[in-house]
Structure 1
Amino acid sequence: MLVIYLIVVGAAAGFLATRLMRIEADIPTTMLIGIAGALVGGFILNALVAVMGMLSGFVGAVLGALLLIWLWQKYRGRR
């Protein structure tokens, strides 16, 4: 399903990209450029999200540990 979505979006993206870059291309070439760009970009983006997902879990763990250390120091000092 993701690949079909990337193909449809890629065709529109190819049209927009060729207009923004001021490239004169026929319709099949425009669609091919957009579809290939969408597939490559989509898979790269999925990989980055997966890596960032793991990284965000690590950052969350560090922030949680910092919060616990701060609370521990704050309440330990009151006694």
Structure 2
Amino acid sequence: MPILAMLIIGTAAGFIATRLMKVEADLGTTIAIGILGALAGGLLIRFLAVIAGWAAGFVGAILGAMLLIWLWQRYFGS
């Protein structure tokens, strides 16, 4: 089923992209553009999501450490 969904979405994306970019292409080329574009775009989005997830985890770790330092200084500091 995921392959069928990729074919359908890729075909639609290729059709829309060729119309937006004003490219005249035959049906096979339009489908190939859409499928390859869906693959490239999907990989790029997944890569950016992973990087953003790591960055968010890093920022969260820094904020958590700062909170612990503040609590330590407030309640146990001199």
Q: TM-score, normalised by structure 1?
A: 0.76
Aligned residue for 2:20? Answer: 20
Deviations 1:7-45 (A, max 9, x none): 321111111111111111122211111110001111122
Give unpaired runs (5+ residues) of structure 1: none
Equivalent residues in 2 for 1:1-79, closer than 5 Å: 2-76=2-76
Shift of 1:3: 4.7
User: How many residue pairs end up in the alignment?
Assistant: 78
CA RMSD of aligned residues (A): 2.1
2:2 and 2:42 map into 1 onto residues whose CA distance is: 9
Q: Confirm or deny: 8 A CA contact 1:10 1:38 kept in the other structure.
A: yes
Deviations 1:35-59 (A, max 9, x none): 1000111112222222322222222
Q: Confirm or deny: 8 A CA contact 1:7 1:39 kept in the other structure.
A: no
Say which SS state the counterpart of residue 22 (structure 1) adopts. Answer: coil
Shift of 1:60: 1.1
1:41 and 1:64 map into 2 onto residues whose CA distance is: 34
Q: TM-score, normalised by structure 2?
A: 0.77
Percent identical pairs in the alignment equals: 55
